[in-house]
A and B are shown apart, each in its own frame.
Chain A
Amino acid sequence: MTKTPPVEDWATDYDIFDAGYVKDPVPVWDKLREQCPIAHTERWGGSWLPTSYEDMQAFVRMVPALSSRDPLVVSESKEEMEFDPILDEYGNKAPPITSDPPEHIPMRRLILPLFTPKAVEPYRPFAEKLCHGLIDGFIAKGTCDAALDYAVHIPAKTIAHVIGVDSERSDEFVGWVRGLLEEGMQDPAKRIKYRGIIRQFFGELVDARKANPRDDLVSRLLAQEIDGQPIARKAVVGMCNLLLVAGIDTTWSSISSALWHFSTHPEDRRRLANEPELFPSAIEEMLRFYSPVTMAREVTEETRAGDVTFMPGDKVLLNFPGANHDPAVFEDADKVILDRAKNRHIAFGIGSHRCAGSNLARMEMDVALRVWFERIPEFELTDPGAVTWAGGQVRGPRHLPFRFPV
């Protein structure tokens, strides 16, 4: 990570990439929620960080004053966007996540039917076979890196399968998405490189399917119409780009965070292993407690929020992970309760931009954890110091050295 001066005052100078914050942001949110509750920083282009559940519920609905046109937690510079021939050719948006009304809703309605609970269920056998195959690869050793040998492959290969591209290329996809969303947030050269690779890959794929349609998702998107008009090529490229970028780091983080939790909390691990009927509520609790995704909005008109005023051009982070630790809404908010009955968590966002892939992510998480617990009910970290976390846009463990009885 890039070296930046240490944070002295989180309320006025927070750093979303601070190593301690990335590892455990909960104490910072709890303090800011009492103190501000909306913090500000000039770091990384400047932004506001709300921490209360109530603010997140309100801000997602302030459309278009808080616009989705720039949802990254660190903005791409105008210069890097304007002089990139790949973006000229293939577009620079990722609808519908980068859209506001009126174009947002028709774009979103194109992809929602692809990810309903019924629509994602047919991918379950693929995910189950995949998870068993991954575990077959390391179970005899009694050790593995649960983030890199297991969790990462589940969304990467499933998304490749869903989009209809060669799942053998999934390691490349992971590299691209990490280059864009992890290293790229702090390193413009990297994000330009990987953004270009992803755009070009999907640009060429869209052109190939346009020429020779197949029975796959890209061909289905190309065959759709909005108001009797085919969807623009750049928009389809942008939507494919979104499916890949939004579907890998996120679910990887959720699965890894859950495995990290159970490896470090043996009482919860034993309870889930002995009471498998808790899987649904335990998964929601993991999503709440370790919500991976922070989104952003760009302010387009002066907006008063409590004691602060957002000005046009400002960036507001939608701190869904922090909102999910708000004690005003969650009893014992900083405690994991596997059978938590009342859990209105907003890990997938809320409002009109609710994660369109949430049912696919839940299915993957469910399969990943059930198969893991069935095959490896006892496991622990070998070296807590070797665990690394990514943060910023998407937070989760990236190395999890585990051992388990053979």
Chain B
Amino acid sequence: MRVRVNADKCEGHNRCCALAPELFDVDDYGTATALNGGEVPVALEAKAKLAVENCPEYAIEYVRDGGEQDK
């Protein structure tokens, strides 16, 4: 599983970083980025799902291996 933060949508709520600090970081303006190129280890897949499903801006997406977005 891979995830990606859409920086144009992210408004710095920091929900992802709070729920999955192993997977996301935020900069000084609150904008989140996915760590490790968005790669999600199997053990952290549940946390990644939480981050996706708690983003109020719908800014985190799953990425298929081909780079195509997945809902």
Contacts and interface: CB of A to CB of B under 8 A. Distances in A.
Interface of A: 109, 112-113, 116-117, 280, 284, 341-346, 348, 350-352, 354, 358-359, 362
B61 interface: no
B8 to A, nearest CB: 11
A339 B44 CA distance: 18
Interface in B9-44: 11-15, 17-19, 26, 28-30
A348 B13 contact: yes
Contacts of B17: 117
Given A284-B54, A342-B53, 16 more contacts: A112-B28, A112-B29, A116-B26, A280-B19, A342-B54, A343-B53, A344-B56, A346-B56, A350-B11, A351-B57, A354-B11, A354-B13, A358-B13, A358-B14, A359-B14, A362-B18
Contacts of B57: 350-351
B63 interface: no
B60 to A, nearest CB: 11
Interface residues of B, number: 19
A352 B31 CA distance: 12
A256 B56 CA distance: 24
A65 B54 CA distance: 28
A224 to B, nearest CB: 13
Contact of B58 (A109, A280, A343, A344): A344
Contacts of B54: 284, 342-344
B50 interface: yes
A143 to B, nearest CB: 35
Given A116-B28, A117-B17, A280-B18, A351 B11 contact: yes
A343 B51 CA distance: 10
Contacts of A341: 50, 53
Contacts of B19: 280
A128 B59 CA distance: 33
Pick from B12, B15, B29, B53 the residue with the most CB of A within 10 Å.
Answer: B12
A345 B29 contact: no
A116 B27 CA distance: 8
Contacts of B11: 350-352, 354
Contacts of B14: 116-117, 358-359
Contacts of A351: 11, 57
A345 B13 CA distance: 11
17 contacts: A109-B29, A112-B12, A112-B29, A113-B29, A116-B26, A116-B28, A280-B18, A284-B54, A341-B50, A344-B53, A344-B54, A344-B55, A344-B56, A346-B56, A348-B56, A350-B57, A354-B11
B26 A117 contact: yes
